[in-house]
Each structure stands twice: as C-alpha cells, then as structure tokens.
Amino acid sequence: MSIENKIKSKLFKIAFKELLEGNWKKLNIKSLSLKSKLSVEETLSIITSKEELLDIWSHEINLKIMNLVSAKELKDVSKKDRILELMLCRLDILEDYRTEIFALMTLSRENALETCMAWSRINKAMKYIMNISNIDTNGKKGMLKIKVLSIIWIITIKEWQQSKTKDNTFVMSNLDKRLTKIDKLNSTILN
C-alpha cells in the first residue's frame, strides 16, 4: 500500500469515528491533521475538505466493485442483470460500513449541503455502474438514466437500513423487481 493510500485510510478512519461520535460539524482539515498526526500541508496534499474525503472514499468503493465480479461474468448477462450484479456488489462492500452509512444517511437528512454532496456521490456511483454495464450516460438522456438509477439505489439503501440483518434476500429481490419494472417501462433507461 502506498504512503498516500495509508494516509487516506487513516483519514477515513478518523472521519468515520468523528461522524459516529457526532462530531462531523466540528471536523475540518486542521482537526483531521491533528488527529492523524499529519501537518496541515500533508493533509491538504491528499484532500481539501472532509466532503472531498467522502468523495474519495465513495470512489474507492466503486473501484472495489470490480474485485467482486469479473468482466466475463458481466459480458454473459443482460444490461439489467449487469446493473443488478454491480449494485449488489456495491451493497456487499458497504456491509462493512453499515453503521457509517446509516450515520451518513442521518447527516444528509439534517443538512442541505450534506444532502447535495450525498446525491452527487450516488450519481457518480450509478454513472460508474452504468459505464461498466456499457450503458450510454451522455447528454440529457444519460443524465435521466443516472437519476433514475440513483433513486432506485436510494430506495434500496433505505430498505437495507430497515432490514437490520445481513440477510439481504428481501432487498435483493426488491432491487431486481425495480430494475425489471424500469426495463419493461422504458427500455431506453437500461440501454
């Protein structure tokens, strides 16, 4: 693991600890630097804000998705099933961060800026999933596809939160039903 990745990992742990302890509003570059025993300059060389830190963390989750599924597996199924598989992989990865995700959801409900930042991260994640699935995300039509998939993801995450169990059969089944319905209603969304 590179030095930069070690620093990021350390910053993620600190940020999530502060989030879970209810100190998110007080968290800034200076406090992240103090808690990580880095200089402000070193911290700024990695991130410029706690929101950017979450953006980086979310992007790293996206990159981990491809460690759980092979390109060959994705090639052999429909685009709808590719999206389903990739969303389920993302959910599997997030299982290790279940408490943190719930804290982030609470935070985003309490603060308009956090809501916008969370929406942006979700849109980027869904765009990544659609790009892997070979679905065009360009232009207005592409933006619509990303928004539809993002809404489905938010509904899925809320169900996942309410399930409070590691058995995600119900959540997976509902996600599959939603994607199937979107595919039947408007095949242009998943193409």
- By three-state DSSP, how is residue 28 classified? coil
pLDDT of residue 94: 93
Same domain, 60 and 31: no
106, burial (CB in 10 Å: exposed 0-12, middle 13-18, buried 19+): middle
For residues 79 and 158, membership in a common domain is answered with yes
Do 27 and 100 lie in one domain? The reply is no
The answer to the question of residue 191 being in a domain is no
What domain range is 87 assigned to? 50-185
Q: Quick check: is 155 in a domain?
A: yes
Q: How would you write the pLDDT of the chain (191 residues) with one tens digit per residue?
A: 788 889 999 999 999 999 999 999 999 999 999 999 999 999 999 999 999 999 999 999 999 998 888 777 788 888 899 999 999 999 999 999 999 999 999 999 888 989 999 999 999 999 999 999 989 999 999 999 999 999 999 999 999 988 866 778 899 999 999 999 888 776 666 66
The verdict on 42 and 59 lying in the same domain is no
